[in-house]
């Protein structure tokens, strides 16, 4: 049975809204900035009832991908319907001490989003990795009543953030990355040791978020992708999702980060290796448990591709097109967010640098703010998704 047949209702319900959408692409504001000549990404996404968006930051990496850079915000304004703070909502930025909050940078992003008519997502209420906890939280003395104190610290955090952005942020990555890549279990942190188990922490996070946002979208977000070397981690995520369902934990959506990667050249496809059948099986298992899907942090690592820019851009675009074509078959897939729109400001420059020391070209626009083949292929895939 083909996937389309396996998911008739969801696919149909996604398409049902399309007929009523106005034809976009010829009206003002529908075309992108830069040198792009096709419809804007968000307009193309809207054709199948979705939104396209991007991470944005307050002043990161020299202000490049930030609300302070008009050339960057021009692209965000032209292409995106939704934005997400790259770092500014994380504990390290919002909570300098146990009973001190600092929202200066996040408030600036929220104000920018509001002034520019962009929806705003929340990333993240809890990044459950000690590496990304503030130092004070890793070293915290939970005292004589550790369970109570850990619960107080966590619920206060979630209530404070969701109250502050109430009405503006309705979709949150409640928990980001809770699995230990090596042990395959959930990660221990100071909070989990105080509360007795990682699950106690994660469950409380989601229950608190649900109390705060009865109609909000609560997301578990993690670094899944379709390369063969992601299989074990994807299985770990499925087990976690199963556990949430068994325990009645209110999780609506699986956030698939989608930092997709060409780590070698597969002679059969001419692009990076990807395990399409296994990936579909993974997605099917998640949606069969009732989860919606979201692409939360899309970009492309191009390590194995040659230096030549035209060739590299073409291969990155082709690889991403294949990925989007599969993802967009799922009516359960809602929003699509890139982890930045301009190569030069994208985190991969530091995280996955190329051996030739050239820039990684994994986002829709070049450092010169020019639209790349990747952008065009995403638009084309979105158009195809809308016409079935």
Scan residues 105-124 and list those touching ligand GLA (CB under 6 A): 123
Find the shortest distance in angstroms from Cβ 253 to ligand GLA.
15
* The two structure tokens encoding residue 381: 């895939």
**Min dist. Cβ of residue 258 to ligand GLA (A):** 10
Residues 342-361 that bind ligand GLA (CB under 6 A): 347
Instruction: Compute the distance between CA of residue 170 and CA of residue 215 in angstroms, rounded to an integer.
Output: 8
Backbone phi and psi for residue 134, each to the nearest 5 degrees, phi listed first: -65, 155
Helix (H/G/I), strand (E/B), else coil: 348: helix
Question: Which lies closer to ligand GLA via its Cβ, residue 124 or residue 162?
Answer: 124
User: Which residues within the stretch 212-231 sit at the binding site for ligand GLA (CB under 6 A)?
Assistant: 223
Q: What span, in angstroms and rounded, lies between the C-alpha atoms of 372 and 90?
A: 31
Q: Of 7 and 347, which has the nearer Cβ to ligand GLA?
A: 347
Q: What is the DSSP string of 143-159?
A: -S-HHHHHHHHHHHHHH
* 297 part of the interface to ligand GLA, by CB under 6 A: yes
Residues in contact with ligand GLA, shown as a per-residue x/- string from 73 to 92 under the rule CB under 6 A: --------------------
Number of residues that bind ligand GLA (CB under 6 A): 6
What lies within 8 Å, CB to CB, of 109 at 6+ separation is: 56, 57, 58, 67, 83, 85, 88, 120
The secondary element (H helix, E strand) that includes residue 253 is strand 253-256
361 vs 73: CA distance, rounded Å: 19
Q: If binding is defined by CB under 6 A, does position 257 make contact with ligand GLA?
A: yes
Cα–Cα distance list, 266 to 88, 260, 269, 345 (Å) = 38, 15, 6, 29
Calpha distance 315→321 (Å, rounded): 10
Nearer to ligand GLA, 38 or 57 (CB): 57
Cβ closest to ligand GLA, residue 123 vs residue 128? 123
The nearest distance, CB 231 to ligand GLA, in angstroms, is 19
> Tokens 């009516």 label which residue?
331
By beta-carbon proximity to ligand GLA, the closer residue of 38 and 127 is: 127
The residue among 38 and 296 lying less far from ligand GLA, judged by its C-beta, is 296
Q: Which helix (H) or strand (E) holds 255?
A: strand 253-256
CA 234/CA 231 separation, integer angstroms: 5
Shortest spacing between CB 257 and ligand GLA, in angstroms: 5
The half-sphere exposure of 165 on its side-chain side, counting CA atoms within 13 A, is 32
Shortest CB 56 distance to ligand GLA, Å: 12
Among 32, 38, 46, 176, binds ligand GLA (CB under 6 A): 176
Sign of CA dihedral 341, 346, 348, 351: negative
Smallest separation (angstroms) from ligand GLA to the CB of 123: 6
Q: How far is the CB of 328 from ligand GLA (least distance, A)?
A: 22
Rounded CA gap, 258 and 362, in Å? Answer: 12
Dist CA 277 CA 300 (whole Å): 20
Q: How far is the CB of 85 from ligand GLA (least distance, A)?
A: 9
Query: Considering beta carbons, is residue 132 or 206 the nearer one to ligand GLA?
Result: 132
With respect to ligand GLA, which residue has the nearer C-beta, 88 or 318?
Answer: 88
Taking the complex as a whole, the smallest distance from the CB of residue 121 to ligand GLA amounts, in Å, to: 12
Choice between 53 and 331, CB closer to ligand GLA: 53
**Angle formed at CA 253 by CA 251 and CA 257, multiple of 5 degrees:** 125
- Classified as helix, coil or strand, 167 is coil
Asked if 66 is part of the footprint of ligand GLA (rule: CB under 6 A), the reply reads: no
Q: Build a one-symbol-per-residue string for 1-30: x at contacts with ligand GLA by CB under 6 A, - elsewhere.
A: ------------------------------
Task: Kindly tell me the burial class for residue 29, based on how many C-beta atoms sit within 10 Å of its own C-beta (0-12, 13-18, 19 or more).
Answer: exposed
Beta carbon nearer to ligand GLA, 220 or 279: 220
Min dist CB 90 to ligand GLA, Å, is 7
Contact residues toward ligand GLA (CB under 6 A) are: 123, 176, 223, 257, 297, 347
């Amino acid at each position: 049975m083909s996937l389309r047949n396996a998911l008739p209702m969801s696919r149909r319900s996604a398409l049902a809204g399309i007929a009523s959408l106005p034809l976009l692409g010829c009206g003002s504001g529908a075309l992108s900035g830069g040198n792009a000549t096709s419809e804007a990404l968000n307009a193309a996404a809207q054709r199948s009832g979705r939104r396209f968006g991007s991470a944005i930051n307050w002043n990161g990496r020299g202000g490049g991908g930030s609300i302070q850079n008009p050339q960057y915000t021009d692209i965000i304004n032209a292409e995106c319907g939704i934005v997400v703070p790259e770092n500014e909502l994380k504990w390290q930025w919002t909570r300098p001490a146990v009973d001190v909050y600092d929202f200066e940078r996040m408030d600036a992003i929220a104000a920018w989003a509001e002034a520019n008519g962009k929806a705003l997502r929340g990333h993240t209420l809890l990044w459950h990795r000690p590496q990304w906890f503030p130092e004070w939280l890793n070293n915290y003395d939970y005292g004589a009543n550790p369970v109570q104190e850990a619960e107080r610290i966590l619920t206060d955090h979630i209530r404070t953030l969701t109250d502050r952005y109430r009405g503006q942020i309705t979709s949150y990555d409640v928990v980001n990355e809770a699995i230990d890549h090596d042990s395959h279990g959930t990660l221990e942190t100071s909070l989990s040791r105080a509360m007795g188990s990682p699950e106690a922490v994660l469950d409380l996070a989601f229950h608190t978020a649900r109390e705060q946002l009865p109609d909000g979208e609560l997301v578990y977000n993690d670094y899944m992708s379709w390369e063969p070397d992601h299989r074990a981690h994807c299985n770990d995520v499925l087990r976690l999702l199963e556990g949430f369902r068994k325990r009645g934990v209110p999780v609506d959506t699986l956030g698939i980060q989608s930092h997709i990667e060409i780590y070698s050249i597969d002679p059969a496809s001419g692009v990076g290796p990807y395990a399409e059948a296994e990936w579909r099986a993974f997605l099917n298992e998640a949606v069969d448990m009732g989860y919606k899907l979201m692409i939360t942090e899309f970009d492309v690592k191009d390590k194995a591709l040659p230096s030549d820019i035209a060739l590299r851009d073409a291969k990155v675009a082709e690889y991403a097109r294949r990925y989007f074509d599969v993802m967009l078959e799922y009516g359960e897939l809602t929003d699509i967010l890139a982890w930045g729109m301009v190569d030069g400001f994208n985190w991969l420059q530091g995280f996955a640098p190329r051996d030739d020391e050239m820039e990684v070209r994994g986002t829709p626009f070049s450092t010169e703010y020019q639209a790349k083949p990747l952008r065009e292929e995403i638009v084309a895939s979105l158009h195809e998704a809308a016409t079935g």
